[in-house]
């Protein structure tokens, strides 16, 4: 298929015209293993994401070529790719594991686009590598659907994240808690370097490789920090602030990661490694989305503290490259960035444009009321946009979220006074609040419905329907009102674990 010219006169790429520049594979072999994907028999496309394809300037006509699935299932390699599995270690549930690495993911290579962007193409579920340990190197259809959809949902919510180009399946059964259909996910990110990528060389005392990796990350992703007195300290500080902003965004939207091990923390401040995640439904700060997290280490309310812990772990790994003062500053910068960003986002969710003393108490008191009533987090904040500040009684559609209505009335009175203090206008405020409070998020029961249709019927239409819906989370979409509702009260529980 020949390249075509898009409507904006941008030349579109075919698969064979993607431009590879495999910088990570040019690092010494201690950083990676060169390994080819293990293909599925009779691969076929489950879903392709046009938004991610656009980042590569990939011609949509390529989606229908007969061998598209073969390129993203390991049967064929894209011209110029150099497949490798990356080495890293990490702290898992607070305990250091000396070697982890890409046990079921293989980086096909790095695409460099015409506008200078770089995208690593990583195939998850691509088979055994030397880092697989006791695993089988595979992913299941269930987990690939969950990551594919949630990455797009987070992107549309404005939260930094990895993206996914496509899901490819084949005739292979994978054993987890039960036999499940296997699948591969083509994940994209500017870099898949993690906190654990640095930890492995620190704890192995291979300090020359630690510095080499830091130089690589600076040169490829943080070139501006070269101007600093100590570029390595500046790198750590910027990662700390990016991570603080990221965690604040998770908290504000009501999302729990589930496995915030240091090997799942991006050096670029991206949300990555979607497994047992979950959006809050009934507000519960103790929410644990990971069935394997028996102690609640990664509960929703603990995420800010875990982010702080992980920044300290990264600082320890980089400690030989900076003085003690810069090392101690990193977690402080994380905390400051996280708290400031969270306060800003929560003011936006309440429709406030100014920062006043006591705003934090207003937010905390509301969340406590939501907790005691188990009010639905997403639905309530969306409804709050209709609050009328001139009316002394609150609309029942808002008030009825709460069991203790008198307590909410008291809070609403304080909220009304706060709005009047900055001369807020109802109509204008509702427009802003609707852009800060999504109507649609990827609730677990929505993802589960798409998974069930895919597994039982090989019907993948719900995957595409959800992806398109979640691309516009702040917009009322006619006929899709049911997708904004929480799971029915009598729904069976959805168990999500690390294998998810």
Segment 5-52, tens digit of pLDDT: 343 445 689 999 999 999 999 999 999 999 999 999 999 999 999 999
- Cα distances (Å, whole numbers) of residue 212 to 28, 208, 209, 226, 318: 9, 6, 5, 14, 12
User: 229-256, pLDDT tens digit by residue?
Assistant: 999 999 999 999 999 999 999 999 999 9
What is the C-alpha to C-alpha distance for residues 86 and 263, in angstroms, rounded to an integer? 12
Residue 395: pLDDT band with limits 50, 70, 90 = confident
- Give the per-residue pLDDT at 488: 86
Please report, rounded to a whole number, the percentage of residues in the chain having pLDDT higher than 70: 97
Asked if pLDDT for residue 143 goes beyond 50, the answer is: yes
CA distance 175 to 142: 12
Residue 44's H or E segment, with its range, is strand 44-48
Give the model's pLDDT for residue 27.
98
- Degrees (nearest 5) of the Cα angle 51, 52, 57? 90
Residues 184, 279: Cα–Cα separation, whole Å: 24
- Kindly state the percentage of the chain with pLDDT values over 90: 91
At 120, give phi and psi (nearest 5°).
Answer: -80, 130
Q: 34: which strand partners?
A: 84
Q: Tell me whether residue 286 is exposed, middle or buried, using C-beta atoms within 10 angstroms of its C-beta: 0 to 12, 13 to 18, 19 or more.
A: exposed
Q: Rounded to 5 degrees, what angle do the CA atoms 357, 361, 366 make?
A: 135
Asked if the model's pLDDT at residue 390 lies above 90, the reply is no
CB 265 within 8 Å of CB 195: yes
Which residues lie across from 266 on neighbouring strands?
194
The backbone torsions φ and ψ at residue 47, rounded to the nearest 5 degrees and listed phi first, read -160, 145
What pLDDT is stored for residue 10 in this prediction? 58
**Enzyme catalytic residues:** 263
- Which tokens hold the place of 331? 């977690």
- Dump pLDDT digits (tens) for 107-130: 999 999 988 999 999 999 999 999
**Taken in order 54, 60, 63, 67, is the CA torsion positive or negative?**
negative
Statement: residue 99 has pLDDT above 80: yes
- Mean pLDDT of all residues in the chain? 95
* Confidence band, pLDDT 50/70/90 cuts, at residue 177: confident
Helix (H, G, I), strand (E, B) or coil at 58: strand
pLDDT at 499: 61
Q: Is the pLDDT assigned to residue 215 strictly greater than 90?
A: yes
CB atoms within 10 A of CB 5: 10
pLDDT tens, 178-202?
A: 999 999 999 999 999 999 999 999 9
Tens-digit pLDDT profile for residues 434-446: 999 999 999 999 9
Q: Report d(CA 250, CA 232) in Å as an integer.
A: 27
pLDDT, position 5? 36
Q: Could you tell me the residue ranges of all domains in the chain?
A: 15-191, 196-324, 349-436
Q: Is the pLDDT of residue 290 over 50?
A: yes
Query: Which pLDDT value is given to residue 136?
Result: 94
pLDDT band at 392 (very low <50, low <70, confident <90, very high): confident
Give tens-digit pLDDT for 309-358.
999 999 999 999 999 999 999 999 999 999 999 999 999 999 999 999 99
E strand map for 193-302? 255-256, 278-279
Strands (E), 159-246: 163-175, 179-189
Span 434-481, pLDDT tens digits:
999 999 999 999 999 999 999 999 999 999 999 999 999 999 999 999
Kindly state the tokens that stand for 79. Answer: 């011209």
What is the predicted pLDDT for the residue at 11?
A: 65
Task: Flag the least confident range among 53-57, 147-151, 390-394.
Answer: 390-394
- pLDDT surpasses 90 at 284: yes
Query: 389 versus 307: which is more confidently predicted?
Result: 307
Q: How far apart are CA 372 and CA 367, in angstroms?
A: 9
């Amino acid at each position: 298929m020949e390249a075509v010219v898009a409507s904006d006169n941008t030349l579109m790429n075919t698969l064979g015209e993607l431009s590879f520049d495999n910088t990570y594979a040019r690092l010494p072999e201690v950083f990676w293993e060169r390994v080819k994907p293990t293909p599925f028999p009779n691969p076929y496309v489950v879903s392709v994401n046009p938004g991610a394809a656009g980042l590569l300037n990939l011609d949509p006509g390529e989606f229908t070529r007969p061998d598209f699935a073969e390129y993203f299932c390991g049967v064929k390699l894209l011209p110029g790719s150099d497949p490798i599995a990356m080495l890293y270690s990490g702290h898992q549930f607070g305990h250091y594991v000396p070697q982890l690495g890409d046990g079921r993911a293989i980086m096909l290579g790095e695409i460099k686009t015409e506008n200078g962007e770089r995208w690593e193409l990583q195939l998850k579920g691509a088979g055994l590598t030397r880092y697989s340990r006791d695993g089988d190197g595979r992913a299941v259809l269930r987990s690939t659907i969950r990551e594919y959809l949630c990455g797009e949902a987070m992107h549309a919510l404005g939260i930094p994240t990895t993206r996914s180009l496509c899901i490819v399946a084949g005739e292979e059964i994978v054993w987890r808690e039960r036999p499940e259909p296997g699948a591969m996910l083509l994940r994209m990110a500017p870099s898949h370097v993690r906190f654990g990528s640095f930890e492995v060389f620190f704890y192995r005392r291979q300090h020359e490789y630690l510095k080499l990796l830091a130089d690589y990350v600076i040169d490829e992703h943080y070139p501006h920090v070269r101007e600093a007195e100590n570029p390595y300290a500046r790198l750590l500080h910027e990662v700390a602030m990016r991570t603080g902003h990221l965690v604040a965004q998770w908290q504000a939207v009501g999302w729990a990661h589930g496995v915030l091990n240091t090997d799942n923390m991006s050096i670029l401040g991206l949300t990555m490694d979607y497994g047992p995640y979950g959006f809050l439904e009934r507000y519960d700060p103790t929410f644990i989305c990971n069935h394997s997290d028996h102690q609640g280490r990664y509960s929703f309310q603990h995420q800010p503290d875990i982010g702080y812990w992980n920044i300290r772990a990264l600082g320890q790994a980089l400690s030989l490259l900076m003085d003690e003062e810069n090392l101690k500053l990193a977690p402080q910068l994380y905390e400051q960035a996280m708290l400031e960003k969270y306060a800003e986002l929560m003011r936006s969710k309440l429709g406030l444009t100014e920062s006043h003393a006591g705003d934090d108490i207003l937010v905390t008191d509301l969340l406590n009321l939501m907790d005691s009533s188990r009010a639905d987090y997403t639905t309530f904040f969306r409804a709050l946009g209709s609050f009328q500040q001139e009316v002394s009684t609150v609309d029942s559609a808002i008030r009825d979220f709460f069991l203790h209505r008198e307590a909410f009335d008291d809070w609403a009175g304080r909220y009304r006074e706060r709005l009047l203090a900055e001369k807020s206008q109802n109509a204008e405020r509702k427009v802003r609040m609707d852009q800060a409070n999504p109507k649609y998020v990827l609730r677990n029961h929505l993802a589960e419905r798409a998974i069930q249709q895919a597994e039982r019927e090989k019907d993948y239409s719900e995957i595409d329907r959800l992806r398109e819906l979640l691309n516009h989370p702040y917009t009322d979409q006619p006929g899709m009102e049911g997708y904004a509702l929480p799971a029915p009260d009598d729904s069976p529980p959805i168990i999500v674990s690390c294998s998810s």
